[in-house]
Amino acid sequence: MGDVTTQAHAVRLQGITKRFPGVVANDDINIEVRPGEIHAIVGENGAGKSTLMKILYGMQRPDEGTIEVNGRVMHFRSPKEAIAAGIGMVHQHFMLADNLTVLENVALGAEPHRGPLLQYGEARERIRELATTYGMPLDPDRLVEELSVGERQRAEIIKVLYRGARILILDEPTAVLVPQEVDELFRNLRELKREGVTVIFISHKLDEVLAIADRITVVRAGKTVKTVNPGDVTARQLAELMVGSELPRPETRASTVTDVVELAVQNVALRGIGDRWILQDIGFEIHRGEVVGIAGVEGNGQAELVQVIMGLRTADQGRISLSGRDITRDSTHERREAGIGYIPEDRQEMGLLLEAPLWENAMLGHQDKAPFSSGPWVNKAGARGRTAEMIEEFRLVTLIVAREMTAKPNLLIASQPTRGIDVGAQAAVWEAIREARRRGMALLLISADLEELIGLSDTLYVIYGGRLVAKLDPNEVTPEELGSYMTGAKGAEGAASAGERDAQPGVRTQVPGAPVQSDPAASEPTGADPDAAAGEDGRP
């Protein structure tokens, strides 16, 4: 046992340094976590949070520094040793086997089991016990593939507790959750804390950290910046600690929405396998100078909606027009010519040729126009010149946004434009979107970041089960309310009326209550449809 003074810490990290080729992921990190507290670690993407937690969990060895757990210096060589010391980690990406039950996932590989046979009876009992103690209801005999994201996470947490963890690391646990599930997770974390478990909560979302943490440590570029009490800082101050400078303010928006309809989608439907519909009855308009946001849990048809507008898939019903011209049967190339710009979701695969020089990337999709080409030839000098201009205007990560904007499209479709990029680049993308709006473009924004949707959109729709189930005013809607529509808890009735049949765009037409739809099959999310699922990642 360690002495009394060091026992004041459940975990104490001193001078932790970890270098990877070309990058110092952790640079003299110092953090003290008290027993039974919820200690948040916040920092931008790439700040070194996951690396630090992998070190604490024995997955990686630090180059320098010491780890103390409950007052004892530890040299973990594997997660097994960290688990033996009472540390458990729930990773950013779940590690459960889909085709096994909760029980099998939890019990497999865990000690103790006698002989070659797992003691499933005992394990089941223990899971039930943990579920009750920590207020995390979960049926041990359900298949993991049948669980919601929130339930999977719960299974991961129970798995870790089952192995005897008293110090629980959660790496970006809310990234995959809708607001309701976040609330549920936070209730669970408070319950764990009441039972004396120490929680280390990793996030880059400041409001969450402020809501749940007893203390917060900010890391930036691999270094510890400061440990603060949530009561002593505002979200803004915290964000500034995170990025190390003053933030651009999300300015209040003066409406730039005009009367001119740029994109009109009328009664569009897309058939899946058999008689399933991936999209049904989709109708909405985007005016010049307007940002229309679409919220939805992934796999509810948003990727396919973009594909249909882009011409990557052809609608089975309905009509799409751009600047008053019917483009329903046009090819993707013709649509781009007609003025549709696109910031794809999967930027690594679709947006950029990572091995190619910048100027080649800069002209993708626009290579047959000046100054990128002269006649049939690529004009390298012209392309380089224009690329330099583009980089001047925007940072490297926003090159795609710049590329699309430079073509001055009439309609710009942005799919998850800030997913996986850091706070600084995020601000640049937001600014680019606002600038596009000021210039009178029509914008369609698909995002999983509800704050981003609410902050940037003039009009918000929720897509659920392939239908637009609500049209909301971003000035009034809360993330929680959005979440209710996204999970189908609220809505349904708005489905048919949310689109073009409805009153003036911009007028709030939120529909209270949720009568059942006439066609029960239609209200199932298309994520369950194998065809729709195939399109989930943005590829047709």
Ligand X SMILES: Nc1ncnc2c1ncn2[C@@H]1O[C@H](COP(=O)(O)OP(=O)(O)O)[C@@H](O)[C@H]1O
Work out how close the CB of 90 gets to Mg ion at its nearest, in angstroms, rounded to a whole number. 13
Q: Is position 227 an interface residue for ligand X (rule: CB under 6 A)? A: no
Could you say which of 45, 323, 509, 517 contacts ligand X (CB under 6 A)?
45
Torsion angle of the four alpha carbons 419, 421, 424, 427, in this order, in degrees rounded to the nearest 10: -20
Q: How distant, in Å, are the alpha carbons of 481, 517, 531 from that of 495?
A: 16, 9, 22
Find the residue with minimal CB distance to Mg ion. Answer: 50
Q: Is position 235 an interface residue for ligand X (rule: CB under 6 A)? A: no
Q: Is position 457 an interface residue for Mg ion (rule: CB under 5 A)? A: no
Candidates 45-53, 136-144, 478-486, 495-503 — which segment interacts with ligand X by CB under 6 A?
A: 45-53
Candidates 47-55, 241-249, 380-388, 482-490 — which segment interacts with ligand X by CB under 6 A?
A: 47-55
Candidates 48-56, 274-282, 405-413, 447-455 — which segment interacts with ligand X by CB under 6 A?
A: 48-56
Q: Is position 50 an interface residue for Mg ion (rule: CB under 5 A)? A: yes
Work out how close the CB of 109 gets to Mg ion at its nearest, in angstroms, rounded to a whole number. 24
Could you say which of 16, 43, 173, 189 contacts ligand X (CB under 6 A)?
43
Could you say which of 2, 35, 36, 46 contacts ligand X (CB under 6 A)?
46
Could you say which of 20, 98, 248, 528 contacts ligand X (CB under 6 A)?
20
Nearer to Mg ion by Cβ, of 50 and 523: the residue is 50
Q: Is position 174 an interface residue for Mg ion (rule: CB under 5 A)? A: no
Nearest to 138 by CA among 152, 149, 121: 152
Cα(71)–Cα(6) distance, rounded to whole angstroms? 5
Nearer to ligand X by Cβ, of 219 and 320: the residue is 219
- List, in order, residues 6 or more apart from 433 with CB less than 8 Å away: 291, 401, 412, 414, 417, 443, 445, 456
Work out how close the CB of 60 gets to ligand X at its nearest, in angstroms, rounded to a whole number. 8
Work out how close the CB of 208 gets to ligand X at its nearest, in angstroms, rounded to a whole number. 15
Work out how close the CB of 45 gets to Mg ion at its nearest, in angstroms, rounded to a whole number. 7
- List, in order, residues 6 or more apart from 276 with CB less than 8 Å away: 521, 526, 529, 531, 532
Q: In DSSP terms, which residues pair with 200 in a beta bridge?
A: 39, 169
Q: Is position 26 an interface residue for Mg ion (rule: CB under 5 A)? A: no
Q: Which amino acid is at 11?
A: V
Q: Dihedrals φ, ψ of 7, to 5°?
A: -65, -10
Nearer to Mg ion by Cβ, of 421 and 498: the residue is 421
Q: Which amino acid is at 51?
A: T
N- to C-terminal Cα separation, the chain: 59
Positions in 299-318 near ligand X (CB under 6 A): none
14 binds, among Mg ion, ligand X, none (CB under 5 to 8 A by kind): none
Q: How distant, in Å, are the alpha carbons of 121, 323, 386, 437 from that of 31?
A: 41, 57, 47, 44
Q: How distant, in Å, are the alpha carbons of 162, 214, 216, 224 from that of 239?
A: 36, 17, 12, 14
499 binds, among Mg ion, ligand X, none (CB under 5 to 8 A by kind): none
Q: Is position 23 an interface residue for ligand X (rule: CB under 6 A)? A: yes
Nearer to ligand X by Cβ, of 21 and 513: the residue is 21
Residue 529 structure tokens = 């449809």
Nearer to ligand X by Cβ, of 20 and 132: the residue is 20
Work out how close the CB of 219 gets to ligand X at its nearest, in angstroms, rounded to a whole number. 7
Work out how close the CB of 295 gets to Mg ion at its nearest, in angstroms, rounded to a whole number. 24
Q: In DSSP terms, which residues pair with 373 in a beta bridge?
A: 378
Residue 294 structure tokens = 């679409």
Q: Is position 48 an interface residue for ligand X (rule: CB under 6 A)? A: yes
Residue 16 structure tokens = 């932790």
Candidates 17-25, 115-123, 373-381, 386-394 — which segment interacts with ligand X by CB under 6 A?
A: 17-25
Nearer to ligand X by Cβ, of 46 and 365: the residue is 46
Q: Is position 203 an interface residue for Mg ion (rule: CB under 5 A)? A: no
Contact 394, 419 (CB under 8 A): no
Q: Is position 424 an interface residue for ligand X (rule: CB under 6 A)? A: no
Work out how close the CB of 489 gets to Mg ion at its nearest, in angstroms, rounded to a whole number. 30
Q: How many residues are listed for the chain in this entry?
A: 540
Cα(29)–Cα(51) distance, rounded to whole angstroms? 11
Specify whether the backbone of 492 is left (phi greater than 0), alpha (psi in -120 to 50) or beta: left
Q: Which amino acid is at 4?
A: V
Nearer to ligand X by Cβ, of 23 and 381: the residue is 23
Could you say which of 47, 192, 213, 486 contacts ligand X (CB under 6 A)?
47
363 binds, among Mg ion, ligand X, none (CB under 5 to 8 A by kind): none
Query: How many of the chain's residues bind ligand X (CB under 6 A)?
Result: 11
Cα(63)–Cα(47) distance, rounded to whole angstroms? 17
328 binds, among Mg ion, ligand X, none (CB under 5 to 8 A by kind): none
Could you say which of 49, 223, 276, 335 contacts ligand X (CB under 6 A)?
49
Contact 235, 203 (CB under 8 A): no
DSSP secondary structure string for all residues of 129-164: HHHHHTT----TTSBGGGS-HHHHHHHHHHHHHHTT
Residues that bind ligand X (CB under 6 A): 20, 23, 25, 43, 45-51
Residues that bind Mg ion (CB under 5 A): 50
